[in-house]
Amino acid sequence: MRTRYPLLPLAALLMRPASANFFLADSYVGHDFLQSWTWETFDDPTHGRVNYLDQATALASNLTFASDDKFIMRADSQNTVDPNGRGRGSVRIKSNKAYDEAVVVLDLQHMPEGCATWPAFWSLSQAGPWPHGGEIDIIEGVNLNNANLASLHTTPGCTMSSAGPPDRFMSGNVTATDCDASVNFNQGCGVQFGSPASYGSPFNAGGGGFFVMVRSRDASGPGVRIWFWSRDDPRVPLEVRAPPPTGLFAPASLYPTAWWGEPDAVFPLSDNCDYASHFDPHIFVFDLTFCGDWAGTAYSASGCPGDCNDYVNNNPQAFQSAYWEVNSLRIYSPRY
């Protein structure tokens, strides 16, 4: 657990002057997602029991909903699924804009939960073919998990230390160290968060929370850092909970300070994983699939009933809590 006044290395306390140069680039709230994101409809590359719908169909069937201050993506919880069809209706969207260095602030009210579910909020390169340009999983889990898993997936030659300080000051636990997507069944290099409120049912029961991902070439330590705070955590930084105001002559700016405490996950991108060689500008993706390569494989061990695909096909009511409810997504980019 993070402490309120963490003992961090001097480099972490002396934030670079350039940190003030991360300014608000885009803010996505409610209807903004309809205008600035694309609904993807291809077959699920992770072999899930899912039928991704286009925007018009998702809106008409209430699997997508937007208001002035809310954006919701949900699974079909009304209909059984044709065994010969692609799967349960759901939504996968991607941002139309790509970002390189960035501070990403997600205010999330609710995430999908339950048996057979596999939701993720992540980013990837469009340079292709995958995994060239890298993938960053910010939120991911399956079935009845209650702790978030953050991971990187890359081409060969990117590894992480299994040790803690001074390489990785973080509160999460290392699950794997080789980020190469071609080994270990594409496990990637992962960190499981320490907070049981960071994923699934416990996250939703607490009213959601805030995820912040920082991707930076900072000379003091380039890499990816991810923080999580539950909504009622008194340690949520004010600038995370409420957007910083726009200045008279410049947009609002944001960058982590020492008072944020230890990140939940840290992925240094230097000697063992060169930033420029493995990471391009990324688009962001929200998706919700079912079963497939991970949720299906882990289904029976998760304490879920019967066969995963049969469960998805025949139990629409089980997916009433399988939805994303996004309050806002703010992305800050550097100016040089």
* Domains parsed from the chain with CATH numbers: 18-334 (2.60.120.200)
Distance between CA atoms of 284 and 320, rounded to whole angstroms? 25
> What pLDDT is attached to residue 143?
99
Instruction: List, run by run, the mean pLDDT of 10-residue segments along the chain (336 residues).
Output: 35 41 93 98 98 99 98 99 98 98 98 99 93 97 97 97 80 96 93 95 98 88 93 96 71 86 94 93 99 98 97 99 98 87
First to last CA, the chain: 35
Question: Would you name the residues annotated as active-site residues?
Answer: 135, 140
Distance between CA atoms of 78 and 75, rounded to whole angstroms? 9
Distance between CA atoms of 146 and 193, rounded to whole angstroms? 9
Give the pair of three-digit tokens for residue 259: 């008072």
Q: What is the DSSP string of 24-45?
A: EEEEE-TTHHHHHEEE--SPPT
Residue 266: helix, strand or coil by DSSP?
strand
Backbone angles phi, psi at 25, to 5 degrees: -95, -45
> What pLDDT is attached to residue 335?
80
> What pLDDT is attached to residue 182?
93
Backbone angles phi, psi at 141, to 5 degrees: -175, 175
> What pLDDT is attached to residue 9?
42
Number of H helices, E strands in the chain: 7, 18
Distance between CA atoms of 197 and 85, rounded to whole angstroms? 35
Distance between CA atoms of 332 and 19, rounded to whole angstroms? 11
> What pLDDT is attached to residue 184?
87
pTM comes to 0.92
> What pLDDT is attached to residue 7?
38
Residue type, 50: V
Q: CB neighbours of 297 closer than 8 A, spacing ≥ 6?
A: none
> What pLDDT is attached to residue 127?
86
